[in-house]
Structure 1
Amino acid sequence: MKKVKLNKKQQKAIELILSGVNVFLTGDAGTGKTTVVQQSVKALEKDEKNVLIAATTGVAADNIGMGAVTVHKAFGLGIEFEKYKDAPGFRSSYLQEADVVIIDEIGMCRFDLFSAIVKNIIAENNKRLEPGYSCNGKKKNAVQLIVVGDFFQLPPVIKKEDREILVEMYGTEYEPGEICERGYAFFSRAWKEMEFHCVKLEEVCRQKDAEFLGILNDIKYGRNLQNVIAYLESNQSSDLMEEAPYLVGTNAKADKINQAHMRALDEKTEKKFWAIIEGDVTYEDIKNISFAKQSLVVNVGAKVMLTANDANGEYVNGTMGTIIDISKERGDATCIQVLTDKGKKVDVYRYEREIERQDIEESKEKGENGETVTVKKIVRKIVGSFKQFPIKIAWAMSIHKSQGQTFGQVNIDPRCWDSGQFYVAVSRAESVAGIHFMAPIMKQYIRTLSDEVIKILRESLYSII
């Protein structure tokens, strides 16, 4: 087995992780954060530590490997975000066995989810302090938490329909301004409670071109943008690369490109599948489902992304591949067989999602002093179900979906609208020569964090080793 060569900062990070303290591992895109995680896990397991590896997205979990799962699965949280605040700490079966928890892509972990994770860890640690406690006949120390990521990459996703509830639930407890717009984990009280030791990796491993690396850092921090634009436009590939993936700012743009590629396939093998919908389900309900559309058109030879986590662990949300067969198995159930980009054949069946509706409901109750007070509660109910293949056509993908991946060649639409979006897109490439920009680059497309957030990062987070 080839020995992994580590630079000094990577070695220092591993030493800190092995010391037992809580660690925030950060660094620019391509600095080898995943390598540090993988080598740390090997060292921890050599010391007979149980390591729970999780990530905020299925793509990130797949990229780490080593049996990583999503944070929702690791902590038994589900996806009902509004339950996070008031739920008691839950000791998941994973967590009860863990000595160390590692969470990747922490930048995309929303503050409410992070708070729930920490609540669970604290509940587990309190249990371990109880007299007579043992796990499999052994005493366990407090859970060590390692979080990994870069807050200058893509921010947490806050859907429009979530914002009112998040402000209602958390707005008075967290820092003003950016918190309810971005929801970064480091704004939460839970982050401060963990007392992270921070390590920043600086030597980039993915790209070897020193000039390109300098440009990436300028993009990240919003510096020298005229020089950045001139460099990228003069050094990019002048022609569209037909076989390379397309990274675009929105799902709508990705759909348009994907439809053009679909039309080039043999129409005789094309299949259309309608979702199976039951109960009181409206268009608004379907519109908000992210894993599939009501009408799905697929074909043999189509490039696809799987958009759910398989119950048997065969694939995760974000797995890329190509459809190689569409047939009927399990009686009359249709199976779509996909050859993943890693060379594994997986069978994909319809995935069921329960449809729930939520709202804020007010009621009047008697307070401790007998006065009448207004109590606000989140109410939810299941109104139906939606079944569809968790598949999206993926010659083109949104920049958000590309985070954590690397491409030798890539076509990029530079018309970005979110902080860190342009940086993530460009840093997916191994070199500037492997990029073709699908439109002229404008200054306004290169967005970074607000001055307020950068100030907080510098003052509180980046007391870095």
Structure 2
Amino acid sequence: MDKMMEKIKLNKKQREALKLIKSGVNVFLTGDAGTGKTTVIRKAVEDLEAAGKNVLITATTGIAADNIGMGAMTVHKALRITVKFEKYKEGKGRRSHYLQAADVLIIDEISMCRFDLFTQIVKNIETENNKRKESGYLYKGKKKGPVQLIVVGDFFQMPPVITQEDRAALVELYGNEYDEGEIYEKGYAFFSEAWRKMELHFIKLEKVCRQKDAEFLNMLNEIKYGRNIDKVIDYLQNNQHAESIEGATCLVGTNAEADRINQKHLDALNLETERTFHAIVEGDVNEVDIKNISFAKEHLILNIGAKVMLTANDAHNEYVNGTMGTVVGFRVGKGEDACIQVLTDRGKQIDVYRYVREIERQEIEKYIEKNDSDESITVLRIVRTTVGYFKQFPIRVAWAMSIHKSQGQSFDSLNIDPCCWVSGQFYVAVSRGRSIENIHFLRTIKKNYIQSLSDKELEILEESVE
């Protein structure tokens, strides 16, 4: 990570965010995709650890944890949090070895964290902080201050998942505590009293625009905030590409629909050219590790002619994460010598080799040191260790992709099914494109497809941070 960070220069707003994090206050770091939230977090981890801090890195989902890297784990695992509703409601804070060791707790993709989960997270933090307070903020004779909380994410993108069954259980458990119905519809963490308790200091990174068209950018902003919807729809419908764009990726609402479209196209290709590439797995890599790997599948099935997206940055700058192309050949070889030949959409033929992903874990290590009274004590610290390797071609079949999986990507051209039913979903889809002229909508856009934070939700969010 050190070599990677040496090459990165932070802009003014990113430096402000880094300074705020290093000041020790609780922080809510937000910003649109592409503004460098992950870059700031990685640099913060580097600097905090260099200052002797134990940093516990978590995310709300396994895939989000894999995306941030650095051995990040789910917040459930790190804090020993159950998935049962009644435990969230009635349970006291639980102590985990990870939290006992931590000076700083980072939670990525906070928009996906439901209010009841966040409430339990804060209970755990409060329990740990109370233990530290009782000891005079000394841990075995060494100073140990309260846990600092850093939450990262964008509430204008995808909200927490709440099924009908979840909603019924939440209403039953929290009905007397929260009067507003919205909390059970979207369940954002910032609805909770726990969010306000943490007194989060707000900082928003400025957008590095992938869109050069000022009018298109303005319309994206209107979509993001749910304003002037009639004007937005009129603009999108009248300025879009007139017909379905041949060869463009199709963004759809669900993974199942994306899989169906991709399989349909694969089945139409010459089956004699079909190849299956199995990942090479080494070391202490388990099924959970493999399930959460987002850049590639364990078993990759391809045919010549397959539309694909590359999902990693090439060390030799032949391609970057998000490069689109078509499979034109396979070069047979043993293990890591095999390669897949791809003709990019910009006309360059490249050889794609297996990408090596280090599987890291955050673990608790006991070690001996002297306290302020010069006594030998056993203390806990968080260490990141490489436990294995996952080697696979960084390729994803890409005739279609779910809107959720498209987050963080940019496309030169897109076909979009605008039938969206989740807050922020339509905004995520349209903002993947660079210009409206290279986007085509597969059906007429309806008002109810464009959902965002309500004025009341936005007001609650703004009031909940400093």
Q: Does 1:316 align with 2:320?
A: no
**Residues 12-31 of structure 1: pairs in structure 2 closer than 5 A:** 12-31=16-35
- The answer to whether the 8 A contact 1:31-1:206 is kept is no
Q: Which residue of 1 aligns with 2:68?
A: 64
**Which residue is 1:344 aligned to?**
355
Gap change, CA 1:98 and 1:407, over 3 Å in 2: farther
TM-score, reference length from structure 2: 0.70
Greater Cα shift, 122-131 or 415-424: 122-131
Which runs of structure 2 are paired with 1:62-211 in the superposition (5 Å)?
Answer: 62-131=66-135, 138-211=142-215
| Aligned mates of 2:436, 2:225 — CA distance in 1 | 18
1:49 to 50, 53, 70: 53
Is 1:445 matched up with 2:449?
yes
Contact 1:62–1:319 (Cα < 8 Å) also in 2: no
What does the per-residue CA deviation read over 1:3-40, in whole Å, with 9 as the maximum and x for residues that have no partner?
43333322222111111010111223333222222222
Of the candidates 411, 414, 421, which is equivalent to residue 417 of structure 1? 421
Cα deviation for residue 316 of structure 1 reads 1.1
User: Unaligned 5+ residue runs, structure 1?
Assistant: 271-298, 303-308, 327-338, 347-391
Q: Could you tell me whether the CA contact under 8 Å between 2:196 and 2:464 is conserved in 1?
A: no
Between 217-226 and 239-248, the greater mean CA deviation after superposition: 239-248
The 5-angstrom pairing of residues 382-421 of structure 1 reads: 395-421=399-425
2:311 partner amino acid: D
1:117 deviation in Å? 0.9
Q: 1:257 aligns with which of 256, 261, 284?
A: 261
Quote how far apart the aligned CAs of 1:251 are.
Answer: 4.7
TM-score normalised by L of structure 1 = 0.70
1:461 to 458, 461, 464: 464
Q: Give, as a single letter, the amino acid of the residue that structure 2 aligns with 1:300.
A: T
| Cross-structure match for 2:39 | 35
Match of residue 315 from structure 2: none
The secondary structure found in structure 2 opposite 1:24 is: strand
List gaps (5 residues or longer) in structure 2: 279-284, 303-308, 313-353, 358-395
* 123-132 or 191-200, which deviates more: 123-132
- Provide Cα deviations, 1:328-387, integer angstroms capped at 9, x if missing partner: xxxxxxxxxxx98334378xxxxxxxxxxxxxxxxxxxxxxxxxxxxxxxxxxxxxxxxx
Q: Secondary structure at the match of 2:47?
A: helix
How far apart are residue 422 of structure 1 and its match? Answer: 0.3
* Alignment deviations for residues 431-458 of structure 1 (CA, whole Å, 9 cap, x no partner): 5455332223333321222232123234
Percent identical? 60
In 1, the alpha carbon distance for the partners of 2:272 and 2:232 equals: 47
Structure 1 counterpart SS, 2:142: coil
Total equivalences in the alignment = 372
Match of 1:221 in 2: 225
CA contact (8 A) 1:51 1:101 kept: yes
Is contact 1:58–1:318 with CA below 8 Å preserved after alignment?
no
Which stretch has the larger CA shift, 397-406 or 147-156?
397-406
Letter in 2 for 1:341: T
Alpha carbons of structure 1 residues 46 and 243: separation in structure 2 relative to 1, 3 Å: farther
Give the conservation status (yes or no) of the 8 Å contact 1:156–1:182: yes
